[in-house]
Chain A
Amino acid sequence: MALLGKNPEMTIPPRAGIGLRAEHFDDILEHRPDIGWVEAHSENYFGLGATSLNNNGGSKPFEYLERVRHLYPVSLHGVGLSVGSTDPLNQQHLKNLKHLIDRIEPGLVSEHLSWGSVNDRYFNDLLPMPYTEESLDHMVQRINEVQEFLGRQILIENVSSYLEYKVSTIPEWEFVTELSQRAGCAVLLDVNNVYVNAMNHGFNAERFIESIPVESVKEIHLAGHTVKEIDGGVIRLDTHDHLVCDEVWELYRLAVNRFGAVPAMIEWDKDLPKLDVLVAEANRADAIRESQLPVSRTGKLTSEVGRERIA
């Protein structure tokens, strides 16, 4: 195994990146596509053997991630911490995540505004929270606990949902805003999830985006979804197996205007296409951002670049 040096400095640039999937490992390392960064699902790289004979080793996926990490900035995106669960936080899961963060030194670390386990039974899915004061207090306390343990700020992502609870009293966008302000976490705004929920639950997607404080959003997700007919009704499922739809691109344009140059990411998890397709989607996100904002490819505002030249 080749020894890699210290990780290069890590900031996620305000460009578009893609989700790193095992099927694309070799392609990315060989072709080094022109993308700003990659996002890895934290749990796929937990095989670090913290108690093993070799603290420097890692699983086969981890060794790939280490190599990719030397070519691109990396963000870590968790799907299994079950932040909203009423079970105690899983300390082993947290330790595994911390260990991975220490080794990879990611630019951003994110989790979901959801729960996925109760009574120690895991569903390995992103289940919706009710939007109540009790739920808000609980999430604030849990995110505080996670951020304290990790010693860093995390981002929390809004999820797609296929139901609303009758007990909910707070609109989702107000819940997200309150949560970020009270827990001191940032927002990972999934524009596709906003659209899916707006269509599934009948609210105005633009209102959602316009309600989120500008400074809180540090990353944007873009993905494709599936339209399904059930019992004569239409429901949108967050399947991550399609191109981003036109309506979501339009919302992204709105989000760029509101939140400025924020890193965006193309998520694709099922029926994975060739790497080129993901790269083309990322390029499209870059083109939209550039058309809306005066930003250079390095991510610096052109006005700042101009000022540097004058100075």
Chain B
Amino acid sequence: MNALRELQQGFARSVNGDTDEVYAQTVCDAGLSGARRLGIYQHGVAIGFRDALGGVFEVIKKLVGDDYFAHVAESYIQTHPSTSGNVHDFGENFPEYLETFQGLETLPYLPDVARLEWAYHSAFHSPMGEMLNISKLAQVPESQQNQLTLLLSPACYLLRSNFPVLRIWQVNQDDYEGDELVDLEEGGVELAIVREGKQIAFHSLSPGAFAMLEAISFGETFNVSCEAALNIDPDCDVGEILQDAVMNRIVGGFSVKGKA
């Protein structure tokens, strides 16, 4: 096992771009040097990850251009190696990475656009979940209501941004027809991104609704979640917010004392 493990670790260093002349000597060089042969793998792996990121973050790629995207992707791949055998898991930290990437300071909305794209990708690869059974919810005895916790659907993601990221995303879709100008001053968004059958839906939420759903996503009880909504907007109707959230498959279940 030791020799095989050492071989794999040396190969990994080469694929990461660390020139290792000693390791290259372990590869036959018939017609093409060991280093060049290892280089084929290094290139292939890099292209694979770049294409995987490009497939998820299509709008980011459009906004910064193919060449610059390749530059950012290369740097991300080096600092955030894949930790899963499923390539669809790759890219989760890309939005945070864009926040600190030198050269992108003039495009402060990029990280949130990337968050929206990651949420879209995640919703696509998540099961929809069932509609919450309202009559079962109504059967929870009053004595247990302070232990009631609602659960977000498995394919629901919340996103708050100070930028109009949904507009930015929409005007950058291939089939978009209409005004392509986005006013960055038009204000932020509070969104729920949810799978609805074949489609991914974007629901714009009121400040109270977002506060309530965010509290639910943090695992707060129903009562605490309602308080969070009323703190933001004392006039909001928490019953209506819940009804809309159930209808839109944002909330998909509940538990009492931790039991579903």
Contact = CB atoms under 8 A, between A and B. Distances in A.
Interface of A: 1, 43-44, 46-49, 52-54, 57-62, 79-82, 85-86, 90, 93, 96, 115-125, 127, 130, 132, 134-135, 138, 162-167, 201-202, 230-231, 233, 235, 237
A15 B260 CA distance: 47
A53 B85 contact: no
Contacts of A61: 124-125
B199 to A, nearest CB: 9
Interface residues of B, number: 54
Given A49-B127, A53-B153, A119-B9, A233 B31 contact: yes
A124 B125 contact: no
B8 A85 contact: yes
Contact of A118 (B3, B9, B44, B48): B9
B27 A230 contact: no
B83 interface: yes
B86 interface: yes
B4 A130 contact: yes
A90 to B, nearest CB: 6
Contacts of A53: 129-130, 151, 153-154, 252-253, 260
A59 B127 contact: yes
19 contacts: A43-B85, A49-B126, A52-B129, A53-B151, A62-B127, A80-B84, A82-B85, A86-B4, A93-B84, A120-B83, A121-B81, A122-B81, A124-B85, A125-B48, A132-B4, A167-B3, A230-B36, A231-B36, A235-B32
B154 A52 contact: yes
A81 B85 contact: yes
B82 A124 contact: yes
Nearest to B12: A118
Given A61-B124, A61-B125, A233-B31, 7 more contacts: A43-B85, A53-B129, A57-B128, A118-B12, A127-B41, A163-B41, A165-B27
A271 B72 CA distance: 24
Contact of A165 (B9, B26, B40, B154): B26
A263 to B, nearest CB: 25
Contacts of A233: 31-32
Contacts of B81: 121-122
A90 B4 contact: no
A125 B83 CA distance: 13
A127 B13 CA distance: 13
B22 interface: no
Can you list the 7 inter-chain pairs with the closest CB atoms, starting with the nearest? A80-B85, A57-B127, A47-B125, A163-B37, A49-B127, A52-B154, A122-B82
Contacts of A47: 88, 124-127
B28 A119 contact: no
A295 to B, nearest CB: 37
Contacts of B124: 47, 59-61
A123 B9 contact: no
Given A47-B126, A118-B8, A119-B12, A125 B36 contact: no
Interface in B25-84: 25-28, 30-34, 36-38, 40-41, 44-45, 48-49, 52, 81-84
Contacts of B31: 233
Nearest to A125: B45
Contacts of B85: 43, 79-82, 90, 93, 116-117, 122, 124
Contacts of B34: 163
A295 B16 CA distance: 50
Nearest to A51: B154
Contact of A125 (B9, B44, B86, B127): B44
Given A120-B83, A124-B85, A163-B34, A235 B40 contact: yes
A222 to B, nearest CB: 21
Given A119-B9, A124-B48, A57 B129 contact: yes
Nearest to A93: B85
A163 B3 contact: no
Contact of B5 (A54, A58, A86): A86
Contacts of B9: 118-119
A128 to B, nearest CB: 9
Nearest to A42: B86
Contact of A164 (B27, B83, B87, B198): B27
